[in-house]
Amino acid sequence: MEQWPLRHLVLRTPRLELRPDDDAGLDGLVETAYGGVHPPEEMPFLMPWTDADPRYLGRGILQHFWTQRAALAPERWSVNFVVRHEGRVIGMQSLDGTDFAITREVSSGSWTGMAHQGRGLGTEMRAAVLLFAFDHLRAVRARSQAFADNHASHRVSEKLGYRSDGTVTAVRRGGPTEDVRLVLDATEFRRPDWELGTDGVDGCLGLLGAG
């Protein structure tokens, strides 16, 4: 019996390969993060992890993903896909579920290194996990959030069919800012013109509450 079926899960798009994080992948993710994720005057994340002391940023990244991996259970899970382009780690795409067997809802988050932005890769990697969620996990709804001034994230959401689901006021670097909630029903998903390739899906369904 396979104790950690996520080790065999792979999502493939025309340009990308997504695999749940392992230690080798996390080392590549740390290297990508040290190359820069956003301009220093901007902060696209609710949890401002990129503001960490550079001496400890890498260790913090490893500990964060180790913690999420250790806590994963059918009732509450975060699958953090390490995203590779031409064999090189370019960023991370998460897919999360809470009581998924009941709600059939997922949420997502992502980032890519600055060297890989502006080429449509962010749209491609989010489309990959949405195809996985809707077609393989049988999700009915996906959610996301982004600050109002995170224009790149909102462009991705618009391309894929998300609609606004209200706003909340969040604190960012000590000041208030508008955080926009977004929702996408499976029937409104604007599917890409390519098919998702997968390996290892069936073995993961029970672990993610989708069996």
pLDDT at 1: 81
**51-67 per-residue burial string, b: 16 or more CB within 10 A, e: under 16:** eeeeeebbeebbeebee
pLDDT at 211: 84
Cβ pair 196, 12 in contact under 8 A: yes
pLDDT at 127: 98
pTM higher than 0.75 for the full model? yes
Please state whether 210 falls in left (phi above 0), alpha (psi between -120 and 50) or beta.
alpha
Q: Helix or strand or coil: residue 125?
A: helix
pLDDT at 168: 96
Tally Cβ neighbours within 10 Å of residue 175.
Answer: 7
* pLDDT tens string 54-84: 999 999 999 999 999 999 999 999 999 999 9
- Per-residue tens of pLDDT for the chain, all 211 residues: 899 999 999 999 999 999 999 999 999 999 999 999 999 999 999 999 999 999 999 999 999 999 999 999 999 999 999 999 999 999 999 999 999 999 999 999 999 999 999 999 999 999 999 999 999 999 999 999 999 999 999 999 999 999 999 999 999 999 999 999 999 999 999 999 999 999 999 999 999 999 8
Annotation: CATH topology of 5-138+194-204 = Aminopeptidase (3.40.630)
What is the C-alpha separation between 32 and 82, in angstroms, rounded? 11
